[in-house]
Amino acid sequence: MRIFLKSIHIALKVNLAYPRDYLISLVIYPFILILNIHLFTSIYAYSEVSHIKGYSLSQMIWYYGATTFVWIFIFNFTDRRISNYILTGELGLRLLRPVSLFQYEMANAIALRIVGILFEFIPGMVIYSLIYSPNFLTIASLLKFFAVVALAFVLNYVLNFIIGVTAFITQNNAGFKRLMGAVTTLLGGAMIPLDFFPGWLQTVCDYLPFKYLFYEPVRFFINHGDISTAEAFYRVIFIDIAWIAALYIIAKIAWKLMLKNVVVAGG
């Protein structure tokens, strides 16, 4: 555990070596939000309704802001880092340390997200709230969101780890990563809320892990009516944990199998 904390500490220092980078991304947020305000205000006014598919105007406006925030919580590039280790031969060095790559990369991903939360989520949240008030937010909903998004982070990390391990076969997994990126954003609900999908596609999404990356955390963020019960909350938490456990086992098996055939590049 101490080694885990120390790794986080070091990764934090590395990521904070160039802090100005993060502040630049803050400039973009207001533009996206203002665009959404105009778009959805006119859509809601035109349809003369207060809710579309259960979303109020402010929830809909915030939906895309919320996907950005979920991104900030769950993002990591473990997949790319692992394929880089394989391509550059640095994997050798990693394997020669008495810390598993899974743990090491997890510490790095957590550190990266702490920096993201400090420099992107908190200021972003302040900026958004000043422009358009998040009137749906309660303390309870926010706490539930944190719980769900923390699990989404772990889920995304395990998925990325598996994609990274596929680089053992393909050497370079850029194509596969792009495919996975498209699938996650689309079937995960980062592009459009899943409620707008046809019924059969929604059923497909129910059986895939991707909606637990974006769609569910976003719904908890905007405090959607469907998930306000305690039962709904526990259901999501339970499915999250089940997916994490299943994918973790797959990741471990894949890692063991691949390690047998690994060729560490370079002399």
Partner 1 sequence: MDEIIIKVQGLRKTFKKLRKKEGFLSSFRSLLIRDFERIHSVKGIDMEIRKGEIRGIIGPNGAGKSTTIKMLSGILFPTEGTVDVMGFTPWLDRERYVRHLGVLFGQKSQLWWDLPPIDTFLLIKEMYRIPEEDFKARLNRFKSMLQIERIIYQPVRTLSLGERMKCELVCAVLHEPPLVFLDEPTIGLDIVSKETIREFIKQMSRDKQTTFIVTTHDLADIENLCDRVTIINKGTIVFDDSMERLSSYFSNRKVVEIKFTQPVEEKLLDSYKVISSGAMSVSIEIDTGEFDLKKVIFEILDRFPVLDVNIMNIPIEEVIKHIYSHEEKVVGYGEKVGVG
Dist. CA 104–CA 27, nearest whole Å: 32
CB of 1 to partner 1, least distance (A): 10
The residue type found at 226 is: D
Q: How far is the CB of 164 from partner 1 (least distance, A)?
A: 17
Helices (H) and strands (E) in the chain, counts: 12, 2
Instruction: Name the one range near partner 1 by CB under 8 A: 3-11, 110-118, 136-144, 206-214.
Output: 3-11
Cβ 116 to partner 1 shortest distance, Å: 18
Site for partner 1 in 44-103 (CB under 8 A): 89-93, 95-100
Cβ atoms of residues 86 and 48 within 8 Å: no
Nearer to partner 1, 95 or 201 (CB): 95
Per CB under 8 A, which region of 5-13, 64-72, 142-150, 190-198 contacts partner 1?
5-13
Contact criterion met (CB below 8 Å) for 235 and 156: no
Burial class of residue 190, CB neighbours in 10 A (0-12, 13-18, 19+): buried
Q: Are 45 and 57 in contact (CB under 8 A)?
A: no
Q: Closest approach of Cβ 22 to partner 1, in Å? A: 15
- Sequence-distant (6+) residues with CB within 8 A of 86 are 167, 168, 171, 262, 265
Number of residues that this document lists for the chain:
267
198 counts as binding partner 1 under rule CB under 8 A: no
**Is 170 among the residues that bind partner 1 (CB under 8 A)?**
no
Q: Are 155 and 247 in contact (CB under 8 A)?
A: yes
Number of residues that bind partner 1 (CB under 8 A): 27
In the complex, least distance from residue 25 CB atom to partner 1, rounded to whole angstroms: 20
State residue 56 phi and psi, 5-degree precision: -75, 170
Question: In the complex with partner 1, which residue's Cβ is closer, 199 or 266?
Answer: 266
Does the footprint of partner 1 cover residue 175 (CB under 8 A)?
no
**Based on CB atoms, which residue is closest to partner 1, 201 or 257?**
257
At which residue do the structure tokens 């880089």 appear?
84
- In the complex, the smallest distance separating the C-beta of residue 59 from partner 1, rounded to whole angstroms, is 41
| Chain positions contacting partner 1, by CB under 8 A | 2-3, 6-7, 10, 13-14, 17, 89-93, 95-100, 259-264, 266-267
